[in-house]
Amino acid sequence: MGVGIWLARERTTNTLVGFCGFLEDAERHLEPQLVYALLGHFAGSGYATEMARASIAQARTCPDIDGIVATVDEINESSRRVLEKVGFARVAPSDGASGKVLLCRLPVTRTGTECSRPQSIPTRPVSLAIGKGCENPTARHPTVPISCR
């Protein structure tokens, strides 16, 4: 199964907001792990939720993905809320480097569209355009933007 990361840019200004996508770590999880991060001044504006939803929408097109995991520091209330909003359920707590870490999981239901993600992490960043106005996420080529909201 391939995984990858998208750079997230604000749709109208093309300003870099952060990144999102999936990592694979077979030693820790059998399923891809949702990851996202924002530049500090974009926090609290709904971008993380939007990035997570766009990533999950893409995963739903992939027949080899039955579920997605995410980990979050227990004290990171904002990221816990993001994961809850997009449908993740808490599976188990564990000890992390800086305190308790929560493992969360989201079962994936199919959209019926064949997955066309790159089968490896792209060598150049892929953009995810975010902001007002919604289109269905697509990723026909590693350089095609995914747009949502």
The tens digit of pLDDT for each residue in 64-102 reads 888 999 999 999 999 999 999 999 999 999 888 889 999
What's the pLDDT at 97? 86
d(CA 41, CA 91) in angstroms, rounded, equals: 31
- Percent of the chain past pLDDT 70, that is, above it, reads 71
The predicted-structure confidence for 26-49, as pLDDT tens digits, reads as follows 888 889 999 999 998 999 989 999
CATH fold of 5-148: Aminopeptidase (3.40.630)
User: Using CA atoms, how far apart are residues 120 and 18, in angstroms rounded to an integer?
Assistant: 20
What residue ranges in 67-139 does DSSP mark as E strands?
Answer: 67-73, 89-96, 99-107, 126-130
Q: What's this model's pTM, rounded to 2 decimal places?
A: 0.74
* Confidence at residue 114, expressed as pLDDT on a 0 to 100 scale: 53
CA 56 to chain centre: 6
Residue 130 tokens read as 């975010």
Angstrom CA distances, 86 to 5, 13, 34, stand at: 18, 26, 11
pLDDT of residue 112: 58
Handedness of CA 81, 122, 146, 60 (dihedral sign): negative
pLDDT band at 120 (very low <50, low <70, confident <90, very high): very low
Q: Is the dihedral of CA 26, 100, 73, 57 positive or negative?
A: positive
Where is average pLDDT lowest: 6-15, 22-31, 108-117?
A: 108-117
- What is the Cα–Cα distance from 94 to 103, expressed in whole angstroms? 8
Listed residue (3, 6, 7) closest to 24, CA to CA: 3
pLDDT given for residue 106 in this prediction: 95
